[in-house]
A and B are shown apart, each in its own frame.
Chain A
């Protein structure tokens, strides 16, 4: 996609000139805080929203001119649950297969093997209403794969999952990438998820890509170690004057430094800073990358209208 912009009728600019390209077999991650424009970007690529300007195409098909061809080539797992909870898991999958024109024999085979994969085979004939949030998530993951898409969109695939289920979902995704020629666009605000699954990451904030690269490149790009000091009133000027100190970030009661070769300079840093209550030093993670480029911590809370919340306040319908 090139220079995609989306301005909602409400006047909100959700996506402000995002461009990227995903190669075949690649896992590309969009990483950003709530409201960054991740879901909006996916919706444009999935032809659910029309962009205000710019050009978007999937597998060579233009999202505006040939939406039907685009839809034939994509699978999507939405951020919010979107299965019919009056139907059973198997019925949901079967319905999906019908909508994609898959023959009866193929549906049967595909559904059986996917249910096995997401470990729902023994619960497949229960209504989705009685599934837990994680089970429903896994069902929708299976659904997104049933028609063998070329490009898979995963909008926060592990939102609201317990660590165990999350680990399992990660394993599925890794497995999927290994044995299928499929590209994945994944959004997340879990750093470890991005670090583990993605070949390439774009950090987005307020509808813009701030930096893009492989997780390793991005971490290396910081060029130093992280030092976190608990300190009342640090001597900012003294610290900033040193050229091996790359950045100084102050939060409420902490001071976060990025320092070149901090291991050998630690003594000096402590002396410069003043009275330090505690100190923590580590190699940088993607979280630090995010902090470094945006000056903000990525929130680790559930996303707006997230899966967990939705499961609890699920609309009782009809």
Chain B
């Protein structure tokens, strides 16, 4: 019972703080919009890939990207908690480190889902064929991917002291993951030597699963890509609880 209350407390605080920071709300609404417009309409309205216009082709990729960036950068808030000393207040409470970690993960997922929901709502307007089933499946994939990547962000955040350092490291992690994932182009066209990197990029499977669900075009069967995401999420949550257990209050 008190674990549920504790999870709720951690989640509630994240949501309240999120809602109160206008810049965060605004950027989570406009960032995905901007990507859709810049990449879809600007770059590629004349190109088409496998008989799908480019802006529709990258739509699942943009959802994957919003999930990646939103999730990974969420880890910075654990560093802010250290900085403003709120973390101490949480760490002297009877909540276990696991509860604290999971509460943060829930907060991060909520953050990401707000962005993704906006994108999913826009799909039909962009001419992407959407159905309720597709939406539901897309949500499942996004949540699984978000659990994995929010955890990675929190793991990095748990060992870092400064938000600036965090930003630097996460940028180095995020961009390769993004570009290698096939979010912006079909991975078939990529040079041979890059292929191994594509296969170890978890976002590849997230984007592929989303593309499979939304456009019916994926490189891997959905069962395979989703299993990989699920395994990754489980592993990262496990590592995350260990990282939080080791995290020092000072």
Please report A residues at the B interface, Cβ cutoff 8 Å.
Answer: 43, 46-49, 68, 71-72, 74, 76, 78, 80-87, 91, 95-96, 98-101, 127, 143, 314-315, 317-318
Contact = CB atoms under 8 A, between A and B. Distances in A.
B84 A84 contact: yes
A82 B83 CA distance: 10
A68 B96 contact: yes
B84 A317 contact: yes
Interface in B9-39: 9, 12-13, 16-17, 20-21, 24
Contacts of B16: 86-87, 91
* Minimum-distance CB pairs A-B, first 10: A101-B2, A98-B9, A82-B85, A48-B249, A99-B93, A317-B80, A72-B94, A82-B89, A71-B94, A86-B20
A37 to B, nearest CB: 14
A317 B20 CA distance: 13
Given A49-B249, A82-B86, A98 B8 contact: yes
Given A71-B92, A76-B92, A99-B95, A48 B12 contact: no
B88 A95 contact: no
Contacts of B21: 86, 318
B139 interface: no
A284 B24 CA distance: 58
A43 B2 contact: no
25 contacts: A43-B249, A47-B92, A48-B88, A49-B249, A71-B93, A72-B94, A76-B92, A80-B85, A82-B84, A83-B89, A95-B13, A96-B89, A96-B93, A98-B5, A98-B8, A98-B9, A99-B5, A99-B90, A100-B2, A100-B93, A317-B80, A317-B83, A318-B21, A318-B77, A318-B80
A150 B119 CA distance: 51
B140 interface: no
A46 B88 CA distance: 10
B74 to A, nearest CB: 11
A81 B96 CA distance: 23
Interface in B87-119: 88-96
Given A98-B5, A98-B6, A98-B12, A49 B94 contact: no
A76 B88 CA distance: 10
A68 B96 CA distance: 7
B172 interface: no
Given A82-B89, A84-B86, A43 B250 contact: yes
Contacts of A76: 92
A317 B96 CA distance: 26
A136 to B, nearest CB: 12
Contacts of B77: 318
B1 interface: yes
Nearest to B8: A98
A46 B80 CA distance: 22
A99 B94 CA distance: 7
A74 B6 contact: no
By CB atoms of chain B within 10 A, which of A80, A85, A99 has the most? Answer: A99
Contacts of A87: 13, 16-17, 20
Contact of A84 (B8, B17, B24, B95): B17
B17 A86 contact: yes
Contacts of B24: 318
B54 to A, nearest CB: 35
Contacts of B5: 98-99, 101
A35 B84 CA distance: 21
A167 B96 CA distance: 37
Nearest to A127: B20
Contacts of B13: 84, 87, 95
Contact of B250 (A47, A48, A74): A48
A81 B84 CA distance: 8
B84 A78 contact: no
A42 to B, nearest CB: 10
Given A95-B13, A101-B2, A83 B83 contact: no
Nearest to A153: B92
Nearest to A78: B88
Given A99-B90, A315-B80, 7 more contacts: A49-B249, A84-B86, A98-B12, A101-B6, A315-B84, A317-B83, A318-B21
